[in-house]
Amino acid sequence: MPAYNEEAVLPHSLAEAVAVLGRLCDRWELVVVDDGSTDSTPAILAEAARREPRLRVLTHPTNLGYSAALAHGFAACRLSAIFYTDADAQFDLGDLRHAWPLLADSDMVAGWRRDRQDPWLRRFASRGFNLLQSAVLGVRARDVDCAFKLFRRSYFERVRLSSQGFLIDSELYARAARAGLRVVQLPVTHRARPGGRSSVRPATVGKTLLHLWRLFLDLRREAAAPETLWPSSVPRRPAS
């Protein structure tokens, strides 16, 4: 669970995650990556970790971006299945009970937002990006940036992530296709944001398009020289 300045919703997000994991899983951990928050997010996480020993907090001293936060979290996870969602409490984590059985015959189970509750402009921009990344990367995803994805741990042993900014969801699909991994999509419940605001800004669009082009070039170079390992976006010396 990446978190950046989510003080308004984080207590709710953590409480829901702990409750659902405790109900559905015999063994679990909750890894939250604080991506350089400047509000009370660090204090909320510290207090929650004192109460719940299965909550692990990873801290970036500065904001490194969504992709870096997720990649750091993926690398830190220790169990055989890895799920990620955002800290904004917009997903019903109870839908994990539907996603889990699908992992038996797939490497990645990806949600798509049924009856998406974001403002119309956000939905319009997301649909446009879905079409663009499909044309550039060849990714066929109904809702590429839906923050509800479940993986076998082996997925991250087969691929190396290199994307920046907000592009990691497209890369997760593209790397799966390149490695011949199996992806299943399913509808999930989406809710309006209960508080706070998204960190996506108009300036994010231009940066994301640049990162999309760079990822396309990286994938093309890798296809030409498959033995090349491109650097991961996981911080080399993560602070804790």
Selection from 205, 190, 172, 167 nearest residue 66 by Cα? 167
pLDDT value at residue 197 = 67
- Distance, in Å, from the CA atom of 144 to the CA atom of 126, rounded to the nearest integer, reads 9
Domain region containing 130: 2-224
Domain membership of residue 220 (yes or no) is yes
pLDDT value at residue 236 = 39
Report how far apart, in Å, the C-alpha atoms of 191 and of each of 52, 90, 152, 194 are.
26, 5, 26, 8
- Please give the tally of structural domains in the chain: 1
Report the chain's C-alpha Rg in angstroms.
17
Domain membership of residue 231 (yes or no) is no
pLDDT value at residue 234 = 42
Domain membership of residue 229 (yes or no) is no
Domain membership of residue 230 (yes or no) is no
Domain membership of residue 100 (yes or no) is yes
pLDDT value at residue 87 = 96
Residue 174: CATH number of its domain: 3.90.550.10
b/e code 22-60 from CB counts within 10 Å (16+ = b): eeeeeeeebbbbbbbbeeebbebbeebbeeeeebbbbbb
pLDDT value at residue 205 = 63
To the nearest 10°, report the CA torsion of 168, 170, 175, 176.
Answer: 120
% of the chain with per-residue pLDDT over 90: 63
3 state DSSP class of 85? strand
pLDDT value at residue 232 = 43
Domain membership of residue 10 (yes or no) is yes
Domain membership of residue 8 (yes or no) is yes
Domain membership of residue 240 (yes or no) is no
pLDDT value at residue 15 = 97
- Residues of the chain whose pLDDT is less than 50? 228-240
